[in-house]
Amino acid sequence: MWYNGDATDDWDDPDGYEWKNDRGLTEYYLNHLGQYLAAGLPVFNCEYAVNHADTAYAKSYEEGLIPYVTRSSLS
């Protein structure tokens, strides 16, 4: 929703987290997922953040989402 990263095989790769998504993309996701939230279904989201993990969790909870925040490393 808010943060993305490049999927590499290096856990410490600084490109693997903290890429801030374009606001329009975030709004697009939220608009589409809103129908599931309105139906009472749980909506999970994965955020790729380290330094902004607290923000990612807070924004997710504010929107009624169930977040998981990590790096995008595939190692």
Tens digit of each residue's pLDDT (9 = 90 or more) over 28-68: 999 999 999 999 999 999 999 999 999 999 999 999 999 99
Q: Dihedral, CA atoms, 33, 67, 70, 55, nearest 10 degrees?
A: 100
Domain span at residue 53 reads 3-70
Residue 29 placed within a domain: yes
Number of domains in the chain: 1
Tens digit of each residue's pLDDT (9 = 90 or more) over 14-29: 888 999 999 999 999 9
Phi, psi of 28 (to 5 degrees): -60, -50
Contacting residues for 11 by C-beta, under 8 A, at least 6 apart: 71, 73, 75
Residue 75 placed within a domain: no
Do residues 44 and 65 make contact, with C-beta atoms less than 8 angstroms apart? yes
